[in-house]
Each structure stands twice: as structure tokens, then as C-alpha cells.
A and B are shown apart, each in its own frame.
Chain A
């Protein structure tokens, strides 16, 4: 009894302090940043963090003119660890905003604990189907994409190119099947075979020999991270790259191209953004990022950069008073910032409504292996689950 009273009064004091802080607009707004920062997939989270902090540091430690304190947390690709971190951030640190979140399984674990506490979730990577549909929340704002988008755009491209027979390949787990399903949603030709390989299988020689024997019009793959490095190298070494077009999602991106380099030249991939986009916001982003980190930014960096710009615009609109949740939500929904992808707006489920593009791996003006925009098969694309979301 005494303990609960004590806890309640502490909470009340903390709330009061927060209210005073925002009124004076002096005490920093705490922002929880959680992503995969260690292990083989740590490169993605690191890019998200670097780009986010680039905006914060450029603004002298402020977003929207208000000082912010970013609490960096590593979810280690473990949903249980992520849940504990979220609990700590919300109950001990009292953060009003959590951003980042790299993997869909982590997103599914923390989405409810964050949003049901009325904390704003600014997702800058994972966009699993359930939270785009029936399980959506008014407190979520996903700046990146819905997972299926990057497969759908490639499916549409394969249809546009008139490919009749395609083989689909992916690791044998949920996301792998989701991507092949997303591809099939927009692909009108025939998928003559679907090959699912164990998630820990590093060598594809057996599968590639089968692909060569079947000689399809194109191959569609989803092999993220190190798997993509293995697959693309082996596809090229097997002499297939010039012969059978390789269409992909999340396989050749800013995180894997440094290890693939020339072996990936000619690979086709679909996503929402590329470093060669010709708009002022993107030019500024790419130039600053390259100067600071000496590498081409990945899409993960771009997404998180946009998340920081979104927060910057929304915090400015409410003059730092993020405790006024309705006003802050309206400010976020307005998305009044210059996105690196050009135009940007949120749909009814607080996922972006955006163009999806096709890229080819090619050398850029400086002779580095990078992504070159070659087509935009989907314009103002709304994800397939938005209609199921009732907010």
C-alpha cells in the first residue's frame, strides 16, 4: 500500500516535472533510440543511429529548436531484450518518443508495449503487415515502408519487362515467404519454382545449379545481410549474372554493396530511395553523410535521417510541448519536412504513401559501386493492409 502510494506520487512528480520542463522548453526531451547495434546485423542499426545523430548534431543537440537527449539502446535482435529496454525507457526514463527498431520480430514484440502507454513510436525500418493492418495504433508513425512494398515493386517491374518464367528464392522463414508472396502479388507471369533455403545455409551451389538447369527468364531473391553477399557472389561466380537477370529485394543495399562490389554489377533491386535521387534534401544528406562517415549512405541511414527530420518538424510545430499528445500527433501526421525521397505523406495507417523505384547496381560518378535509379513502376503506392487499419 505504502509502496504503491509512493510510486504514484513519484510518477506524479515526474509528470509535473515533465510539464514544467516543457513549459520552460529548457529541460531536454528524452528520445529512446533502439536498434540492432551488435552482431552480424549491427550494421543496419549503426546506419540508423549515425544518420539520426547527424541531424541532432547539425542542429546543436536540438530537434525543433528544443534540446533533446537521445538514449541509445541495443536490442540485440532479441525480442525479450527489446521488451525490457522499452519498459525501462518508458517507466524509468519517461521517454515520450521511441525511434529506430530494425527487425520485424522486434517490432512485433515492442509495438504494443510502446503504443498502449501513449508513447510515440517513430519506426525507421521494420514495417510488418499486422501493424500496417488490424493491429495499427494512432501512436505509430512508420517512416520507412511496409515490408511487402520492396517485393511488390520488383513484381510489377518483372511484369513490365515481360518476364514469363521466374524462379523465386528466399531463406526459409516468415520474412522470406512474405517477400516471395509480395512479389507474386504484382507479378503476372508464372513463378515456375520457389526455393527456400535454411536460414543458416551459406552456400547456394546446389540451388544455383538447379536454376541454371531450368534457365528461367529471371530470378527473384530476398537475401538480406550476409546471405545476400554470399548469394550475389556465388550467382556471379557461377556465370549466371550476365545470362539470367537477378531481381532482388534487400539483397544489394548500402549495407551489403561494400562487400559485394563488382560482383553485384547489374543486379536489379527495388526499394523506395537511392543515393542518386536528384532533390536538394537528398543531395545535402548524401554529401554530409559521405563527408562525415566516408561511405555511401544506405537506405537504413536515409530512413532514420527522415525520422529525425520528421521529429524536428513536429517538435517545432508544438513548440516542444510533446505532452500535448493530440497536437503532437497532428504535427507528426502533417509530415511537414523535406524528405530525402522527394514528396512524402502518411497514409491512413501512418505508413508512408510513396513511389517505389527500381535500381540497378552500377558505378557512380566517382567510380564506386552504387545504386542507379532506372524505373519507377509504382507511384503513390498504398500498402495492401491499410484498409484493415481502424484508428
Chain B
């Protein structure tokens, strides 16, 4: 194993991490502030990818148009879903919320199948980012660098919004003690809408960035939703900081494990056994990590600071 390969895999892990962060930040806020379990967050990611792909194809391959459709599109969709379907459920218990948002997953999966058909939809990287960059002797796709850059920029922007603005202050206050915030006369309903729409827009951004890499198709939101849930549980529910570090940890552990565990196992297991066991253990790693975190620090690695 060369250093170049290891660094490339770290970058791959970082790239998966920032993509997860875009999803986890929205989900963790909704969870932490509104105490609302939103399983349909993955569907907003899917809708973002579909909006992007539709605009990309309609505008003859313009990635800017795709971005213009995906982010505001999911923002509005988030507002609509929150007002129409979810706002009535905040006071219900978690099981009702899980059932209702699971229903939304099925609903959105059928909607995209109905509108765009069952086959996956075409989308490609912008021309300027279609090449590769030479890195430690190995070629690395420029588009994946772009994803890392966008993810880190969003992370920085979120940090500024949350720590330097009035809305951010309210969000932080809401995450610590939602009743107290509303008792102080803050329009908690409006705050909920803002948080939900912001989360939806970030999910849409994740869908836009993932669209050229993964197949845009019905049901694409579910596998990534599971990873996102692992991220927010590991990082600490309600905490943007937790979502950020949790996402990077999960992304890097998952990628590096997948890349090196099978090879490592081959050192002391038979080749065919290692080939069968390696990927299985590698895909379990992040869940093991989550289990350890839950056992030792049930509040997550980077929980919301109270008081």
C-alpha cells in the first residue's frame, strides 16, 4: 500500500463525509429543535437530484441551471411539505411521525416514477470539472474536489449563520430548550418553517452534487438516509458541529474500511474467505462505531452544549 493510495482514499472518505454533512445538518436540526423524526429527508435529497437532472437536460447540459432548479426547488418543496403534511404532527409521538414520514417516502418514490419513469435519469458533471487532477501519482476526479469544496464552504457558512446571526442564535436556543424559547415570545412556528426549509435546501444541494455521480432514480434517498441517521446519532442529535464531525468520521471510516479491510484480512485469512468476509465487515464498521458511541457516550460525540 502506497501513501498516495492512502491519501486518495482519505480524500474519498472526506468527499463522502461532506456529502453526508449536507444531509445530516438539516436532519439534525429538525430532530434537535422540533423534536421531529423526519424519515422523508432522503426524499428531499432525491427530489433535489431529480430537479437538477430535469433542469440539466432541459437546458441542454447547464449545471448552473441545474443548481438554480435544485436548491430553490427543494427549499420551496420543503416549506410546502412542512406546512401541508408535517406541521400537524409535531405534537404527536415519534411513532406517528415515523409512520407519516415513511408514507412520504413511498409517496415521493411513486411521484418521480410517475413523472420521470422507472429508468434512471441522465446527468453529467459540468464540462470544466470533467477531467482529473494528478495527485500523488494517481488521478483524482476534479468533480469530487468540487464536492469537497462546496461541502466545506457550506459548513463554514452554517457556522457563521448559527454563531453570528439572530436566526442562528434562535436556532441554538431552540436546540437547547425549545419551550423556553417559545415562552420568551419567539414565533416558534416560523422558526420551525425556516429550519425545515433550510434543511430541505441543503438536502437538495446534496442531491444536486450527487446527481452526476450516482444514478438518479426512484428510491435513491433511502440508502443515504440510513448513513445520515448514523451520522447524527454518532455526532450528537441537534448539533451542527456534531453533524459535521460525525459526517467526516463516518465518511472516512466507511471508505477507508471498505478500501483496506479486505486487503488487510487477506494477510491472515484465505483469499476466498477474505473476499467474502472483508466487504461484509467493512460495511458493518460504521454501525459498530455507532454502537460503541451509544454505549460509551449516549448523547453523541459532539452534543449540543446546554446551559
The segment out of B34-42, B113-121, B230-238 that lies at the interface is B113-121
Which of B8, B121, B224 is in CB contact (< 8 Å) with A209?
B8
CB distance from B66 to the nearest CB of A (A): 15
CB distance from B252 to the nearest CB of A (A): 11
Closest chain A residue to B278, Cβ basis: A196
Q: Is the CB of B130 within 8 A of A237?
A: yes
Residue numbers in A under 8 Å from B143 (CB-CB): 237
Which of B130, B132, B216, B256 is in CB contact (< 8 Å) with A259?
B216
Does residue B141 face the partner (Cβ distance < 8 Å to A)?
yes
- Chain A 210-246: CB-based contact to B (< 8 A → 1; otherwise 0): 1011000000000001110110011001111000000
Q: Is the CB of B255 within 8 A of A205?
A: yes
Max chain B Cβ within 10 angstroms of own Cβ: one of A39, A195, A209: A209
Does residue A159 face the partner (Cβ distance < 8 Å to B)?
no
Cα A38 to Cα B144 in complex, Å, equals 32
Does residue A9 face the partner (Cβ distance < 8 Å to B)?
no
Q: Is the CB of A206 within 8 A of B258?
A: yes
Whether A196 touches B275, Cβ cut-off 8 Å, given contacts A207-B259, A238-B132, is yes
Q: Which of B118-161 contact A (CB under 8 A)?
A: 118-122, 124-125, 130-132, 138-141, 143-144
Cα A283 to Cα B280 in complex, Å, equals 47
Q: Which of A153-210 contact B (CB under 8 A)?
A: 172, 194-198, 200-203, 205-207, 209-210
Residue numbers in A under 8 Å from B192 (CB-CB): none
Does residue A40 face the partner (Cβ distance < 8 Å to B)?
yes
Q: Is the CB of B119 within 8 A of A43?
A: yes
- Chain B 233-276: CB-based contact to A (< 8 A → 1; otherwise 0): 00000000000000000000001101100100000000000011
Closest chain A residue to B1, Cβ basis: A213
Q: Is the CB of B122 within 8 A of A260?
A: yes
Q: Is the CB of A209 within 8 A of B141?
A: no
Which of B8, B118, B122, B262 is in CB contact (< 8 Å) with A40?
B118
Q: Is the CB of A206 within 8 A of B255?
A: yes
Does residue B101 face the partner (Cβ distance < 8 Å to A)?
no
Which of A40, A203, A206, A237 is in CB contact (< 8 Å) with B125?
A237
Whether A42 touches B118, Cβ cut-off 8 Å, given contacts A203-B16, A210-B5, is yes
Residue numbers in A under 8 Å from B124 (CB-CB): 233, 261-263
Q: Is the CB of A197 within 8 A of B130?
A: no
CB distance from B198 to the nearest CB of A (A): 25
Does residue B228 face the partner (Cβ distance < 8 Å to A)?
no
Cα A202 to Cα B223 in complex, Å, equals 8
Does residue A373 face the partner (Cβ distance < 8 Å to B)?
no
Residue numbers in B under 8 Å from A238 (CB-CB): 132, 139-141
Q: Is the CB of B118 within 8 A of A38?
A: yes
Q: Is the CB of A213 within 8 A of B138?
A: yes
Cα A207 to Cα B260 in complex, Å, equals 10
- Chain B 1-14: CB-based contact to A (< 8 A → 1; otherwise 0): 01011001100110
Closest chain A residue to B2, Cβ basis: A213
Which of A197, A229, A230, A237 is in CB contact (< 8 Å) with B279?
A197
Whether A239 touches B280, Cβ cut-off 8 Å, given contacts A194-B275, A212-B138, is no
Q: Is the CB of A203 within 8 A of B141?
A: no
Residue numbers in B under 8 Å from A201 (CB-CB): 223, 283
Whether A43 touches B117, Cβ cut-off 8 Å, given contacts A203-B213, A230-B215, A237-B130, is yes
Residue numbers in A under 8 Å from B113 (CB-CB): 38, 42
Could you tell me how many residues of chain A have their Cβ less than 8 Å away from some Cβ of chain B?
43
Whether A230 touches B122, Cβ cut-off 8 Å, given contacts A43-B117, A194-B275, A196-B279, is no
- Chain A 6-22: CB-based contact to B (< 8 A → 1; otherwise 0): 00000000000000000
Which of B5, B224, B283 is in CB contact (< 8 Å) with A198?
B283
Residue numbers in A under 8 Å from B8 (CB-CB): 209
Does residue B97 face the partner (Cβ distance < 8 Å to A)?
no
Q: Is the CB of B259 within 8 A of A209?
A: yes
Cα A212 to Cα B141 in complex, Å, equals 12
Does residue B99 face the partner (Cβ distance < 8 Å to A)?
no
Q: Is the CB of B12 within 8 A of A206?
A: yes
Closest chain B residue to A238, Cβ basis: B141
Closest chain B residue to A180, Cβ basis: B275
Does residue B32 face the partner (Cβ distance < 8 Å to A)?
no
Whether A230 touches B141, Cβ cut-off 8 Å, given contacts A198-B283, A202-B223, A261-B122, is no
Q: Is the CB of A43 within 8 A of B118?
A: yes
Q: Is the CB of A46 within 8 A of B118?
A: yes
Q: Is the CB of B275 within 8 A of A259?
A: no
Residue numbers in A under 8 Å from B130 (CB-CB): 237
CB distance from B187 to the nearest CB of A (A): 39
Does residue A256 face the partner (Cβ distance < 8 Å to B)?
yes
Does residue A255 face the partner (Cβ distance < 8 Å to B)?
yes
CB distance from A223 to the nearest CB of B (A): 10
Whether A205 touches B12, Cβ cut-off 8 Å, given contacts A210-B259, A226-B217, A259-B120, is yes
Q: Is the CB of A198 within 8 A of B12?
A: no
Residue numbers in B under 8 Å from A213 (CB-CB): 2, 4-5, 138
Residue numbers in B under 8 Å from A234 (CB-CB): 141, 213
Cα A194 to Cα B278 in complex, Å, equals 11
Does residue A258 face the partner (Cβ distance < 8 Å to B)?
yes
Q: Which of B181-228 contact A (CB under 8 A)?
A: 212-220, 223-224
Q: List 11 A-B contacts (CB under 8 A).
A: A39-B219, A40-B120, A40-B219, A43-B117, A197-B279, A213-B4, A213-B138, A226-B220, A229-B217, A237-B141, A238-B141
A196-B275, A196-B276, A233-B212 known; 20 new pairs, CB 8 Å cut-off, are A39-B118, A43-B118, A43-B119, A195-B279, A197-B258, A205-B16, A206-B258, A209-B138, A229-B214, A234-B213, A237-B132, A237-B143, A237-B212, A238-B140, A239-B132, A239-B141, A255-B119, A256-B119, A259-B119, A261-B124
Interface residues of A, Cβ cutoff 8 Å to B = 38-43, 46, 172, 194-198, 200-203, 205-207, 209-210, 212-213, 225-227, 229-230, 233-234, 237-240, 255-256, 258-263
